[in-house]
Amino acid sequence: METEDNTTPTRNRRAPMLVYVVGIGTLLMAGIGAIHGTKWYLNLLLGAGGSLVLLGAGRPLYRSAVYRIDEQQVLCRFIPWYQANTLLTSVMLPIGGVAGIAMGREPDSPVWVGYAGYLLLALGIVLALLALFQSTNRLSFTPTCLIVRIGRRFEIPREQVVAVKPRTIASTGTGQITRHYDLVYVPAGGGNNRSMANLDMQFSVEPANLAAALQAWKDASPDDPGLMDRIEAILRGQHAT
């Protein structure tokens, strides 16, 4: 696997501090607004937004969804409320919708504000339902194969795994660079054809930990009695890789 790029710009390292400043400032605005009698829906919007910004500051993942099923199986899942972006959209869009609907009922508000509120509320509900559907995703490590369920269930035997390939994505908002990983494998009956699965975006596990676990699993012997213990530790970020 490629080594980590250590040339990240200084401004990327400062991004989490900026997020804390924005979150605290937003909460202060909500508190000041409540004291001075600002409309309740504006304070609700600012308070919820500031809280979620602080909760997810520098942490796209709150907790890893890794479970030990038995001696021969480690399971990874997608849990919506473990994901900062999913929680943000599923909570803030409905709250923004409620605020918009309430604002649209004010006598001096344009009519479109209320309609925009209904649109945000509907969009938030749809995204929340999609996140709940994604929570059916499963990735099971066993000594001999990976069992994947993303919409459909399929197995990837160890001998069909080709490589774990890294790729980088730069955030348009902060410029922060994040690394993601793709699993390259030969599908059953695929001959020389290769398929690529972006597994780290489908499960509530740190991408680097998932990639390290996949690489360790690929390189290890299926007869290694400590393999599943090692895979579980790597997925939880408790193992030096």
Same domain, 74 and 18: no
Is 124 contained in some domain?
no
- The enclosing domain of 169 has a CATH number of 2.30.29.30
Domains identified in the chain, total number: 2
Average pLDDT of the chain to the nearest whole number: 80
Same domain, 143 and 197: yes
Same domain, 53 and 165: no
Same domain, 73 and 45: no
Same domain, 32 and 150: no
Same domain, 74 and 192: yes
Is 193 contained in some domain?
yes
Is 204 contained in some domain?
yes
Same domain, 149 and 38: no
Same domain, 154 and 210: yes
Is 187 contained in some domain?
yes
- Counting residues of the chain whose pLDDT is more than 70, the rounded percentage is 85
Residues 6+ apart with CB under 8 A from 160: 185, 186, 187, 188
pLDDT in tens, 67-88: 999 889 999 999 888 887 787 7
| Nearest-angstrom CA–CA distance, 194 and 157 | 14
Beta bridge partners of 108: none
| Nearest-angstrom CA–CA distance, 183 and 164 | 5
For residue 232, what pLDDT is reported? 93
For residue 145, what pLDDT is reported? 92
Among 77, 51, 45, 202, residue whose Cα is nearest residue 141 = 77
Residues of the chain with pLDDT under 70: 1-16, 55-59, 170-176, 189-192, 239-241
Same domain, 180 and 213: yes
Is 217 contained in some domain?
yes
For residue 152, what pLDDT is reported? 84
The boundaries of the domain holding residue 171 are 69-78+136-224
Is 202 contained in some domain?
yes
Which long-range CB contacts under 8 A does 153-156 form with residues at least 24 apart? 154/188, 156/183, 156/185
For residue 8, what pLDDT is reported? 36
Is 180 contained in some domain?
yes
Same domain, 74 and 186: yes
